[in-house]
Every structure is written in C-alpha cells, then in structure tokens.
C-alpha cells in the first residue's frame, strides 16, 4: 500500500489553488501584446505574462486603462511582490528568482 508524501501533496495543492485563480477559459494566447515572454490575456481585464528569465517586458495596454500589477515567483507561487510600471506598460522583474509571472488585473 502506498503512503502519501505530505510535502508533495501540499505542493500540488498550492499549485492547484494558484491556477484556480486564473480565468483560463476567457484567455487566449497573444504574443503580439508583449515584446518578450509569453502572454495569456483576457484583454482589457486580466493579463498573465510568463518570463523564463529576468528582464524587462513591455505590454501593449489600452490607453488610460488602470491595472493592479503583481509579480509571482513561478517556482514558488506563494511568493508575490507588487509590481509598478517603469514607464507606460513596461515592467522589470524583481531581483532574485529565475522565472516570473506578471499578473495585471483591471481596477
């Protein structure tokens, strides 16, 4: 009989809970919205951008639109940091970490 490994169970549970917050059914891949990385937006409402290495990403957003921005450590999704635009639609990854998710949500 197999025994569960609580650490693995907890990890899968955290990942599942994180992805449960993303409205994937309303999002469509749009690489033309970002200059680097991978973008999955629900345009005008919710943007999820994955960067596989640190850097600066420019996102094409509607003029005048306001978003709450957050960096999420892709390797440890419980680690989040507020994000602010360096300039209109331009965001730089936080120090530390290898790959990041940037989530923008309309206000």
The total number of residues shown for the chain amounts to 107
- What is the predicted pLDDT for the residue at 2? 62
- What is the predicted pLDDT for the residue at 52? 94
Residues of the chain with pLDDT under 70: 1-3
* pTM across the whole model: 0.84
* Residues 43-69: tens digit of each pLDDT: 989 999 999 999 999 999 988 889 999
Residues 6+ apart with CB under 8 A from 61: 47, 67, 88, 89, 104
> Mind listing the domains of the chain with CATH numbers?
6-106 (2.60.40)
| Residue 57 to residue 39: CA distance in whole angstroms | 10
- What is the predicted pLDDT for the residue at 65? 86
| Residue 43 to residue 38: CA distance in whole angstroms | 14
Q: Answer whether 100's CB lies under 8 Å from 73's CB.
A: yes
- What is the predicted pLDDT for the residue at 62? 85
């Amino acid at each position: 009989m197999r025994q569960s490994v609580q650490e693995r169970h907890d990890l899968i549970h955290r990942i599942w809970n994180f992805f449960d917050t993303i409205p994937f059914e309303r999002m469509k891949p749009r690489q033309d919205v970002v200059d680097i990385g991978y973008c999955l937006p629900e345009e005008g409402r919710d943007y999820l951008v994955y960067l596989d290495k640190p850097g600066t990403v420019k996102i094409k957003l509607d003029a005048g639109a306001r978003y709450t921005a957050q960096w999420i450590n892709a390797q440890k999704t419980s680690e989040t940091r507020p994000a602010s635009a360096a300039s209109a639609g331009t965001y730089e990854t936080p120090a530390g970490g290898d790959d990041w998710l940037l989530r923008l949500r309309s206000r």
